[in-house]
Amino acid sequence: MSYTRKHLATVEGYVPGEQPAEGGFIKLNTNENPYPPSPRVFEAIQQVTPERMRKYPDPLYRRLSAKIAQVYGVKQEQVFIGNGSDEVLSLLVRTFVDPDEKVVYTYPSYVLYETLARLNAVGCEAVELDENFDLPKRAFSAGGKLLFVGNPNNPTGRGIPADTMGRLCRSFPGLVATDEAYADFSNSSCVSLLRDCQNLMILRTFSKSFSLASIRVGFALAREELVADLMRMKDSYNVNLLSQLAAEAALSDLEHMRANVLKIVRTRTLLISGLAALGFVVYPSESNFVLAKYPNGSARPLYEELKRRKILVRYFPLRRLEDCLRITVGTDGEVDALLKELRDILKK
């Protein structure tokens, strides 16, 4: 007998990019940072005492939220922290969207937005991006309770200027959650809009620019009332001690993060020109990955052959993306290796 909730019978869970148990892969499939996190992270972790390990962490993560508030120029009460952005996204749906309301998201975008709506049995609607993967006019007349907008968007790499985001916030009747997971690789951010846009929530993560995908810390910046609602809904101790310490240490060394971002942005240029030279159509990217369109049909065989050669990239068997690969910007060496294998594959 099944005990599962009725609506789940037809919903599939989110399938993350492969995380192979065995080593030896060049991993360009889940947008991890190829460079190590700040040494201060390791110092912080290694100084943890048995006395702190045996106790619960601060359920209000006061030191970390104070640090985030300081770095991003908001009040501490405007900071909500989760067990990765994934948890923040899930809590947004569970806190703000009733079953008779809907989640709206652009397409193509991070698949999890739709998955979360379906898992939580609320309505959902996609707003189709235009032929360049930019926001279409009709995004500004969309209705709904919660709008997810990646900025820069994943997997397209496209950014949205802050003034466009401001217009979107003014036109949308519900909450606008802009996922800035990749904003450090871009030139724009909407943090400055928080003062004027009461319905704006900005999502950030330590998984990309800070090289800390392992620790699962993401956060939202929003006005105090919205943060208070999320605090009531979250598990009491949703961010563990070591992750709080690691994130705080990473924020105390922004130079380290920025230097890594600079290197990645430089390598991104090499990757884009290399792919273009091989005949791919490469979309402009403001993130640590590029979306490359293979002009000769499905990109699946390329993905599979690269995997056989121990290079993982991301292939999405989804409408408008079947002929594309999403490739994380690795080190120069990793990008060289990728281009070399691709050249060899395409020759045959």
Q: H/E/C letters for each residue in 22-90?
A: CCCCEEECCCCCCCCCCHHHHHHHHCCCHHHHCCCCCCCCHHHHHHHHHHHCCCHHHEEEEEHHHHHHH
Q: Nearest approach, Cβ of 59 to a copy of itself (angstroms)? A: 5
User: Is the Cβ of residue 246 or residue 299 nearer to a copy of itself in the bound state?
Assistant: 246
Pairwise CA distance, residues 253 & 234, whole Å: 29
Among 10, 24, 50, 319, binds a copy of itself (CB under 8 A): 50
Among 44, 57, 160, 272, binds a copy of itself (CB under 8 A): 57
Q: Which two tokens stand for residue 28?
A: 């360009």
Pairwise CA distance, residues 21 & 137, whole Å: 44
Binding flag, residue 255, a copy of itself (CB under 8 A): no
Q: How does DSSP classify residue 193?
A: G
**Do 189 and 159 meet the contact criterion of CB atoms below 8 Å apart?**
no
Residues in region 225-254 near a copy of itself by CB under 8 A: 225-226, 229, 231-233, 235-243, 246
Counting residues that bind a copy of itself (by CB under 8 A) gives: 80
Q: Which two tokens stand for residue 206?
A: 């330590």
**Do 194 and 202 meet the contact criterion of CB atoms below 8 Å apart?**
yes
User: Is the Cβ of residue 216 or residue 268 nearer to a copy of itself in the bound state?
Assistant: 216
**To 10 degrees, the CA torsion angle through 82, 200, 12, 240?**
0
Q: How many other C-beta atoms are found inside a 10 Å radius of the C-beta of residue 319?
A: 9
The CA R_g of the chain, rounded to the nearest whole Å, is: 20
Q: Nearest approach, Cβ of 55 to a copy of itself (angstroms)? A: 5
Q: Nearest approach, Cβ of 321 to a copy of itself (angstroms)? A: 19
Among 37, 144, 155, 159, binds a copy of itself (CB under 8 A): 37
- From the list 43-51, 153-161, 180-188, 265-273, the region that binds a copy of itself by CB under 8 A is 43-51
Pairwise CA distance, residues 324 & 176, whole Å: 28
Map residue 194 onto helix, strand or coil. Answer: coil
Encoded amino acid at 131, one letter: E
Q: Nearest approach, Cβ of 218 to a copy of itself (angstroms)? A: 10
Among 65, 90, 156, 186, binds a copy of itself (CB under 8 A): 90
Binding to a copy of itself by CB under 8 A, coded x per residue (else -) over 265-284, reads --------------------
**Do 181 and 5 meet the contact criterion of CB atoms below 8 Å apart?**
no
Binding flag, residue 107, a copy of itself (CB under 8 A): no
Binding flag, residue 53, a copy of itself (CB under 8 A): yes
Q: How does DSSP classify residue 165?
A: H
CA 192, 194, 195: angle at the middle one, nearest 5? 90
Among 154, 156, 207, 209, binds a copy of itself (CB under 8 A): 207
The phi and psi torsions of 187 (rounded to 5 degrees) equal -105, -5
User: Is the Cβ of residue 132 or residue 236 nearer to a copy of itself in the bound state?
Assistant: 236
Binding flag, residue 258, a copy of itself (CB under 8 A): no
Residues in region 136-165 near a copy of itself by CB under 8 A: 145
Among 99, 143, 161, 301, binds a copy of itself (CB under 8 A): 99
Among 64, 84, 117, 154, binds a copy of itself (CB under 8 A): 84
Binding flag, residue 76, a copy of itself (CB under 8 A): no
Among 154, 156, 186, 199, binds a copy of itself (CB under 8 A): 199
Q: Nearest approach, Cβ of 5 to a copy of itself (angstroms)? A: 5
- From the list 16-24, 164-172, 326-334, 337-345, the region that binds a copy of itself by CB under 8 A is 16-24
Residue tagged 């900025």 (tokens): 151
Q: Nearest approach, Cβ of 264 to a copy of itself (angstroms)? A: 12
